[in-house]
Amino acid sequence: MKKRQLGTSDLHVSEISLGCMSLGTDPHKARTIIDQAIDEGVNYLDTADLYDFGENEKIVGEALKGRRQDIILGTKAGNRFTPGQEGWTWDPSKTHIKQAVKDSLKRLGTDYIDLYQLHGGTIDDPIDETIEAFEELKQDGLIREYGISSIRPNVIREYVKRSNIVSVMMQYNALDRRPEEEVLQLLQENNISVLARGPLAKGMLTKQGHEKAKKKAGEGFLSYSFDEVATITNKWSDMGSEKQTPTALALQYVLHHPAVASAVFGASSIEQLENNMTYRDAEAMTDETYEDIRKLTKPITYDKHR
């Protein structure tokens, strides 16, 4: 599996990586998926303290016993919650973040986190205080690097100006091309990498995309009507070849932009994992195919958080 540098850091992540939110709460099943992903070349695992209110971190931590040195581990903070209770509140304060990292380290069973991310953020946050918290955690050796997980252009711009983030996690796929319009170039110019989540658009950019669209986009998707999504997903399932599955094509599309370090996919089964791993052996995407995808879909822009 090829790797790409995360920003200007010493972290080099696999071009496709495993988002752990969809693993579920069965530790054995989760470990099976994680073990196979690592064996097939995935070296970045992404979780968050909020996923299943801490349980996901525990499951990931258990699965990594004996393999921690093999992977780059990312998690997130900023949502205050009480384990075992529903609901959470947003809290990007230094006090909360510095406590949250201790809790995450304990659940993950490790003494450091490779990439610690702010799990959201608004323009009204105490941004300098939040940055200070991450910088202090880095100085203390509890985290190696930090980033944010956000699709808010106004927040992203502030962190680009005021912090030393190495990454921004955001939704990006061939149906959601919003990052292309104003974010990707900004991040590339500032040597900040993108971790692209949702690269398969809820499964709509796979061989079964048309059926997924009926379930996931019955009322449309972003600025697309359902009819537009249906047309795209029908054509998408016929694209590619034996050596380039529709799934591989979707992953290749987001990785085509030099700002993107990794496409972060979710998997709740070995079958889903193996479908994503077809990327590894796929033939290269041609410029012609890339342009065909851009003609099939459409550029859209963020309509909030200006």
For residue range 164-203, list pLDDT tens digits in order: 999 999 999 999 999 998 899 999 999 999 999 999 999 9
Q: Which two tokens stand for residue 236?
A: 């998408």
Type of residue at 128: D
DSSP letters, 22-79, are GG-S-HHHHHHHHHHHHHTT--EEE--TTGGGGHHHHHHHHHTTTTGGGSEEEEEE-E
Cβ-Cβ contacts under 8 Å for 13 (sequence gap 6 or more): 3, 4, 6, 43, 44, 72, 195, 261, 262
Q: How far is CA 144 from the centre of its chain?
A: 18
End-to-end Cα spacing for the chain: 37
Q: Which residue has the tokens 């359902």?
A: 226
Q: How far is CA 198 from the centre of its chain?
A: 7
The verdict on pTM exceeding 0.85 is yes
CATH number of 3-203+254-283: 3.20.20.100
For residue range 232-260, list pLDDT tens digits in order: 999 998 887 778 999 999 999 999 999 99
* Residue 158 confidence (pLDDT) above 90: yes
Q: At what angle do helices 55-63 and 27-39 cross, to 10 degrees?
A: 50
Q: Which of 51, 116, 224, 253 is catalytic?
A: 51
Q: How far is CA 157 from the centre of its chain?
A: 19
DSSP 8-state assignment for residue 286: P
What DSSP element (H or E) covers 235?
helix 226-236
Active site residue 172: no
Give burial (CB, 10 Å; 0-12/13-18/19+) of 86. exposed
- Contact 224/217 with Cβ under 8 angstroms? yes
For residue range 260-306, list pLDDT tens digits in order: 999 999 999 999 999 999 999 999 999 999 999 999 999 999 887 65
